[in-house]
Structure 1
């Protein structure tokens, strides 16, 4: 039986071959993978060159060579940021947009073929890939505001409600309509929604809605299975508490259920304490925190 390190190296070789990482013409369009990774990170409206370099882990010299090559092909244009001339901005040209669309189409078709090869185990394959990608992207995970009716927020809320229904006695899908009819209470200036992103995949969320002028309720803390065990729930709670402080709130409340033991343990570890019940079933645990 191969040990874990040998199995990981075997996996790396298979992915390198499948992804075409060593090909001089990635996906048959005449450029190496590195140049393509730079190209697809550039947006028509402009992307900070330093952001691309940092996200891809490139040194300045290699980044410069990729940019010059893409400029010579007429796929991008670079120039100073009008608001901060120390920064350089790269923008896609019309030809660049067409080239990115071509790569997207080819990549999508190749990915669909790979998933089809998995047959009945396709769900396992995708879940495993999510786990690996989220772990590899751990240091680049970002928490950003979201609208309660945005696709990413609705996706996270569905994941949260599915878990509640699977784990909490008395929780039923009809109790949790999506989209939420009370979505406006989660929008600024009343409330807040935060989503955790691993690259372009939403992997966690937390929300805040008002109770009164000085108190708000933390709701719907959720982390996707692929991102658990990495401290993301703690980061999300810290982020929403910071949002509450910035809003001038004095205290927070939340309700939960004893079936969600991991969440309750996190709350208690971070200064939340028991308070009087303020909601009904399926909640059976109520906590508060002074800011």
Structure 2
């Protein structure tokens, strides 16, 4: 990683944290730091399970517990147990907590306005554009990709969403039974399923079907949640699948796709896949692609 790039990121962090008041232990001139205020916002009017809070905010369980205890002692939240064994803990705002959130929102609006007020209309437009781009890129940097068992809830979510989208986009719908990729085919050593997660939510997947002793493998079940398209996640998932395949001795990757998936076709071509003659009887395929992976060294 370039040392100058790292220093620019650190300088940006220092500027932003100072401007939004993170350094002050009385965020927005209230009697609590930013961490407590953010937890109140995340709990919201509907309440939130504690484990969901921890996952969304990526907080250490001990630190989150301390934040919740402080908010409870201030009378702003209550935390109760639920479920059959009482271990599913849910945090909810009290009336005082709701009032505090409203005040924090009002003061946050004032701070945002104070950032914009000194700027000209052109400068505001530039700032809005830059903020949107920074947010998009930061979200992209927060995505993690890991191999999961096909029966994992996050994996199941992605496969269901994949099938639902294809059913809506293909002429005549889509039946996964006619384009099989069974669970056992997506577990090592037969294959794997990569799942992308952002803020504790599954947002994409790609499967790799390996063939023992064969230098050819297939890409299957490529899907990215519409909410995060534009973050470069499709290219990243594809690159990760290629790296895993190369590490397993694969020299050629193949995939087939439907003509309705124009974005996917553009992605494959941009990633170096070449269209070839049909190599399968996949019923939903109109295009077949192949890519030779480079040998290391």
Q: Judge same fold: TM > 0.5, yes or no.
A: yes
In structure 2, do the counterparts of structure 1 residues 236 and 227 end up closer, same or farther at CA, with 3 Å as the change threshold? same
> Is 1:215 matched up with 2:185?
no
Indicate the SS of the match to 2:245. helix
Secondary structure at the aligned position of 1:106 is classed as strand
1:230 maps to 231
Offset of 1:36 from its aligned partner?
7.6
Give the drift of 1:172. Answer: 2.9
Residue 106 of structure 1 corresponds to: 92
CA distance in 2, matches of 1:142, 1:94: 22
> How many angstroms does 1:243 deviate by?
0.6
- The alignment partner of 1:137 has SS state of helix
Instruction: Indicate how the Cα distance of structure 1 residues 140 and 176 shifts in structure 2: closer, same or farther if over 3 A, else same.
Output: farther
CA contact (8 A) 1:23 1:33 kept: no
Task: Determine which of 267, 281, 286 is the counterpart of 1:279.
Answer: 281
The CA deviation at 1:174 is: 6.0
| Aligned residue runs from structure 1 range 1-291, under 5 A | 22=28, 24=30, 32-34=33-35, 92=62, 99=69, 102=79, 104-106=90-92, 135=136, 137-173=139-175, 175=177, 182-211=182-211, 213=213, 214-277=215-278, 278-291=280-293
CA gap of 1:215–1:37, structure 2 versus 1, over 3 A, is farther
Cα separation, 1, equivalents of 2:141 and 2:259? 32
Cα 1:94–1:254 shift into 2, 3 Å: closer
Query: Shift of the alpha carbon at 1:273?
Result: 1.1
Q: Structure 1: which 4+ aligned runs deviate by more than 6 Å?
A: none
Q: Do the aligned residues in 2 keep the contact of 1:255 with 1:279 (CA within 8 Å)?
A: no
The alignment's C-alpha RMSD in Å is 4.2
TM-score of the pair, normalised by structure 2? 0.56
Mapped partners of 1:200, 1:230: distance in 2: 17
| Matched positions, count | 201
Deviation at 1:248, TM superposition (A): 1.3
Which structure has the larger Rg? 2
Once the two structures are superposed, residues 197-234 of structure 1 have per-residue CA deviations (whole angstroms, 9 ceiling, x without a partner) of 11111111111012453211101111111101121101
Match of 1:66 in 2: none
